Amino acid sequence: SQVPSDKTDAILSLPLLELSGRLQEGSLSPRTVLYTYIQKALEVTQQTNCVQCFIPECEEQLQEIEKQREKGLLYGIPVSIKDHIGHEGHLSTCGLVKFLGIPEKEDSVLVKVLKKQGAIPFAKTNVPQSLFNYDCSNLIFGQTLNPLNHQKTPGGSSGGEGALIAGGGSLLGIGSDIGGSIRLPCSFCGLCGLKPTAKRLSLSGISGPVDGIVSVLCALGPMARDVDSLALCMKALLCEEMFRLDPTVPPIPFNEEVYSSSAPLRIGYYDTDGYFPLPPCMQRAVHETREALQAAGHEVIAVISTHRSVKEMWDHQHQIEVYRSEFIAQWKELQLDVMLCPVLGPAFTIGFPGKLLSAISSTMLYNVLNFPAGVVPVSTVTEADEEELKLYRGCCDDLWDRMLKQAVEGAVGLPVAVQCVALPWQEELCLRFMKEVETLSRAKRAV
């Protein structure tokens, strides 16, 4: 009621970098921006059930930053956070009833750093029960819907974040990723998202459904509408405050020179892991992106030999470290800078995701290897894709192939994305590659 509708529409249409610039110069106030996004988030969650709770303490943070003389990199930016990222006084349920009635006693390190940089955490978002699912539903808060198509899931486990940002109710969100939990919602909802190397961002104050998961590590990362927003978030978080609060985080600040470079890249690519072929539209996205990258002057090399052992890796988990070493060795032998590959999608019909956990190989591979990996939307599902899907037989025309085919049917107009990967600790290079893919895909769509 405090912000005229014409002004809210103008604010909601601003990209993060432009909004940040206006907040920094004072032509927009943090109060106006915060109320605008709270109002929009309420509207989006009424339609999609994506918000776990709003954070009333955002008013206190608003008053705090209004007093500050120095403005942080995220000054006045409303930020949404995933359910299990600790915020003082609020629940981190992981979608499990057993965590009800146990509010967090203090902010997680990540929330502390966000606040230090002037951001305003204003909402926590929904997750699937236990976090380990490609859907976004639990017995406490219910089912979250994809804002682009309510018959489809927003993905998981950062599905509440995906739905809120895609619906326009948040400009920047923080998710987490073990088996694609940032990348899948971004793929399903048409967003950009980055899974950094594990421990590049602090995990202190982050809850989990069970203890002792060490073979595949969780990573926190940003989700947004464009790659520049991800880069600004990483630049803000990789600061002395995070390194001071959590000494286990390597003190590696954001390398702006790498992100801003325009040097040609040497890119490896593949369109299947050789074990679980993806729907035709996702493979099409890889090939169209490859062609655009080649036309832009980058060197693109087909990579196929590593995938013969993917299935064996899953059958023999103790081979993960051996596989990781072999994969990095081949990467270096080919002198690759980055890798282009598929990501699971398009969005599944609600009800299928829990049955499709075996479909993770193309997405989860880089968690096992602990590589930074990001998702960029490059296209949409066409009528031709839908017709081709009718002839799709997958790898063996077995139960999993048929189930995947049913899950992705009826997706015309929904986003199609690709995955961009770099070697460990090279988040800036991964983001730079994502930015190149984003720029080329936007140019193609504009023609």
Give the residue numbers annotated as catalytic, written as ranges.
82, 157, 181
Q: Tokens for 296, please give them.
A: 């832009």
Q: Tokens for 330, please give them.
A: 């081949």
- Phi and psi dihedrals of 139, rounded to 5? -75, -10
Name 293's Cβ contacts closer than 8 Å, sequence gap at least 6. 265, 267, 300, 340, 436, 437, 440
Q: What are residue 54's DSSP bridge partners?
A: 123
Beta strand spans in 248-352 (E): 266-269, 299-302, 338-342
Q: Tokens for 405, please give them.
A: 């085919």
| Neighbour tally for 32: CB within 10 Å | 17
**What is the separation, in whole angstroms, between the first and last Cα of the chain?**
40
Asked if residues 268 and 304 have their Cβ atoms less than 8 Å apart, the reply is no
Beta strand spans in 105-191 (E): 120-125, 137-138, 142-143, 172-177
Distances from the Cα of 350 to the Cα of 133, 146, 380, angstroms: 12, 9, 19
Question: For helices 320-333 and 361-368, what crossing angle results, to 10°?
Answer: 90
Q: What are residue 82's DSSP bridge partners?
A: 125
